[in-house]
Amino acid sequence: MKRRQFLGASVAMSAAALTPRLLLALDKDNVYRNAIGIQLYTLRNQIKDDVAGTLKAVADAGYKQVEPYGFPNAQPMIDAARDNGLAIHSSHFDWDAVVNPDDKGVPPFSEILEKAKDAGLTHLVVPYLAEKNRTTLDDYKVTAERCNKAAEEAQAAGIQLAYHNHAFEFEPKENGRYGYEVLVDEFSDQMKFEIDIFWVQLAGHDPAKLIRKLQGRVSQLHLKDLSKQTPVPTYNGVANEAFEEIGDGVIPMEPIFQAAAEAGVVHCHVEQDQSPEPLASIRQSMTYLKKM
């Protein structure tokens, strides 16, 4: 073997030897596989009809934890999850308590924090922004300021606050700059991100690269897949058919899990916003993840 060939082979073998087993997607000892969760918004219609039966189906499908929505009005989901041995660490909540605290009828964030502590939550997530909060880059700056204030309050209560993205945060605005850049620049150390990989991909960005860029600042991920037929980038509005079961779309999952492990992500949740058969979809996604 020539010296150049030998050196190339040695580098390749060294790189392989240094790859931690933690980074091998959903290998048997992978931290995410052993605690894979689901965002219950996926099953919102089934939950309306039969919360207990739906949460039993989630546990039977192999999920280990759930992330409710609509907190603090989520107690039936929380009770049914615990009845079925499912852990609950995080919930989406009434985000106006943080983003629009002066609006009429909005509960104080301190009350939501108190209820979150009583429920045993360790994470709360701002799940959305109304259009009035995201029209200009200045709107995003105000949102970041309010999130930072709430994150400090949450940290004092032992709870991590994070922000969940869609695609609209990546739409170019003044001078080509976009809202997510403002949040990245303006969020304090106390404020984290829950990255939804589907919406990042839809906006024309690489989710794994974004996760690595935000190393130490990403607390959780939402995992879903994007249809091959969906135009990219798309920032506002998408067909129901754009949402695919994991493994059926264009997003490679192994690089996502590798990036998550390197970036210190704590929890990963499957979510499929739209599906004609949500229970079948979550079972299919779990089957794929177990076989990776």
For 166-205, write each residue's pLDDT tens digit: 999 999 999 999 999 999 999 999 999 999 999 999 999 9
pLDDT at 290 (0 to 100)? 86
DSSP state at residue 171 = S
For the stretch 228-252, pLDDT in tens is 999 999 999 899 999 999 999 999 9
Q: Residue 185 is encoded by which pair of tokens?
A: 């620049």
Examine the pLDDT at 38 and tell me if it is beyond 70.
Answer: yes
The helices-and-strands tally (H runs, E runs) of the chain is 12, 11
**Rounded Cα–Cα distance for residues 147 and 106 (Å):** 15
Which phi and psi (to 5°) does residue 185 adopt?
A: -75, -35
pLDDT of residue 28: 63
pLDDT at 24: 46
Query: Tokens 């403002």 correspond to what residue?
Result: 182
Alpha-carbon gap, residue 30 to 18, rounded angstroms: 16
Domains and CATH numbers, the chain: 19-291 (3.20.20.150)
Structure tokens at 29: 């000892």
Residue 33's pLDDT band, with cuts at 50, 70 and 90, is confident
Which residues is 160 bridged to in the sheet?
123
Longest CA–CA separation in the chain, Å: 76
Distance between CA atoms of residues 281 and 278, nearest Å:
5
Q: What's the token pair of residue 117?
A: 């502590």
Token duo for residue 138: 């200045």
With cut-offs at 50, 70 and 90, classify the pLDDT of residue 34: confident
Stretch 40-68: mean pLDDT: 98
Contact 258, 26 (CB under 8 A): no
pLDDT at 16: 36
Q: What are 214-227's pLDDT values in tens digits?
A: 999 999 999 999 99
Entry field: residues in the chain: 292
Name which residue leads in pLDDT, 10 or 114. 114
Distance (Å, whole) CA 68 – CA 72: 10
- Look up residue 17 and give its DSSP letter: H
